Chain A
Amino acid sequence: MLCRTAHRWVPAEVLLTPVGTSTCLQAIAEAQRRLKHLRNLAATQMPKQGVWSSLASMVTGADKMSDAELEGTLVTAEAGLLEAILLLSEESVMAFVKVVNQQVCLRPPSTTPEWISIQSYPVSVCACGVCVLHQAGLSIRSSWKLYEQCDASLNNAVAALKAERVPFVHQVAARKATASLPAKSESVRAPAETGATPAGAGAGAGAGAGAGAGAGAGAGAGADTGALASTAAGGYYDPDGSAPALPEGYSGILSGGASSDQDDAVVSGVLFGMGGFNVYLSILPPIVLKIVSVLGFPSDRLV
């Protein structure tokens, strides 16, 4: 038997191959179940949304969230995003489309809509058997909105990030590699290094200046920022902490506003969510975007 995964037909034995203690399909179903519970749990930490408060936030802009509310919102958004990604791993890109057309529904229009939910699957089927309600598009949209709320609580530091201020990864890596292991890095990345060495040196100097500015801002804003900055400097790129330079954009985010007292995990979560949205939505072809927008969302939402 052949099963259709995201991109091709594979034998059912492959999907039923044990991975750990369960098969792939069981693992996906289990992950979806857990994500649903996680989302419900984290949603209880989100700020209360009443009619008046939402109206007020439309006029005056969203309030600052407390730390717990911020984390709850972030986790809710991430869970929704991961649910949608898991759905896509089973289905195809068209699962983004929320098909809930009452026009094509075969049931008489006077009857109330009746959605039959499939167990542990974010899809509901209409009783007419034709139209299908996919919830992936919905959860993606709400996730984006939640990420925007988190970002508003970070003074819009993430959305306003200038692309020029972030160095390319190979420039940072080249700088640190030449600092620690010059011979090996040259031999491994010879074609890349030849072109990138002057740029890497320039970025190194610039990032050094940025680190100085970030350290100054940290000293001004308090010890919290200093600790966070040192985390970033000795972070993922640099396990032994030998490189003192901070990526320029990160220090910009830290010194840019109220985000300096936020947790590193929150900032990186918003960065990852908004960055992933920006990248993945931008590679969809415009015709797909148009179809998605026509089918899935009210047209007055179009920008």
Chain B
Amino acid sequence: MWIYCVFVVVNRDRGMAQLRLCFQTDSIRAPLAGIVLLTQHIIIPSFFATDMSDHLPEATAILDTCLQRFPDAAIFLGLQGRMERMRGDIPAAIKVRTGVQWFLDITLL
């Protein structure tokens, strides 16, 4: 879908493709691109969508990769808890999220 923005023509699919590509590089922006992708796949669908089946695979893959590299990162743990909640695994979500409650208090996660 094309959206005509201020002075820019933005294209969501192209943006997601660029972020995916950035996530697969070996640079310092790869985890940042992962965070942006995860917000698209976890945060935003949790407001609107009812069918998570097309978001969960990629979110799971990105989260696995990121948590393997940063096992204690609060952002990724909070997102993981949110993803477990979306999946319906409430005990796992509670277990994950209580560990990073201080971070969740000051963010949207």
Q: A and B, one complex?
A: yes
State how many angstroms separate the Cβ of B61 from the closest Cβ of chain A.
4
> Which of B8, B44, B53, B60 lies in contact with A283, CB distance below 8 A?
B44
Partner of A168, one of B3, B8, B58, B102: B58
- Using a CB-CB cutoff of 8 Å, which residues 246-262 of chain A contact chain B? 247, 249-250, 253
Among B7, B10, B64, B102, which residue has its beta carbon within 8 angstroms of that of A278? B10
Interface size class of B (residues with CB under 8 A): 35 or more
Flag A165-199 by CB within 8 Å of B: 1 or 0 each. Answer: 11111101110000000000000110110011000
- A293 and B102 in contact, given A236-B25, A265-B27 (Cβ under 8 angstroms): no
- Produce 1/0 per residue, A264-276, CB < 8 A to B: 1101110110111
Q: List chain A residues, Cβ under 8 A from B26.
A: 231-232, 234-236, 264
CB < 8 Å A-B pair total: 202
| Residue contact A281 to B5, C-beta cutoff 8 Å | yes
Asked if A58 is at the interface of the complex by the 8 Å CB criterion, the answer is no
Select B56's contact among A161, A192, A275, beta carbons within 8 Å. Answer: A192
B98 within 8 A of A: no
Chain B's nearest CB lies how many Å from the CB of A100? 15
Give residues 2-40 of A contacting B (CB, 8 Å).
Answer: 5-7, 10, 14-15, 17, 24
A274 touches B18 (CB 8 A): yes
A282 neighbours in B (Cβ, 8 Å): 1, 3, 5, 10-12, 15
CA distance A192 to B33 in the complex (A): 22
Name the prevailing secondary structure of the B interface residues. Answer: helix
Near B by CB (< 8 A), chain A positions 130-173 give 141, 144, 158-159, 161-163, 165-170, 172-173
Find the B residue at minimum CB distance from A189. Answer: B60
* Known contacts A236-B30, A282-B3, A297-B7; is-contact A275 B22 (Cβ 8 Å): yes
Segment 74-109 of B: residues with Cβ below 8 Å from A = 102, 105-108
Contact A267 B3 (CB under 8 A): no
Whole-angstrom distance between the Cβ of A167 and the nearest chain B Cβ: 8
Name the one of A163, A173, A234, A236 contacting B64, with C-beta atoms under 8 angstroms: A173
Q: Does B28 contact A (CB under 8 A)?
A: yes
Whole-angstrom CA separation of A183 from B16 in the bound complex: 30
Contact of A236 among B3, B23, B108 (CB under 8 A): B23
Q: Is the CB of A275 within 8 A of B24?
A: no
Determine whether the beta carbon of B25 is less than 8 Å from that of A268.
yes
- Asked if B60 contacts A278 (CB within 8 A), the reply is no
Residue of chain A at shortest CB distance from B2: A282
Q: List 21 A-B contacts (CB under 8 A).
A: A6-B108, A144-B7, A161-B17, A234-B26, A235-B26, A236-B69, A249-B17, A249-B21, A264-B26, A265-B29, A271-B19, A271-B21, A272-B36, A274-B18, A279-B12, A279-B36, A282-B3, A282-B5, A301-B6, A301-B7, A302-B4
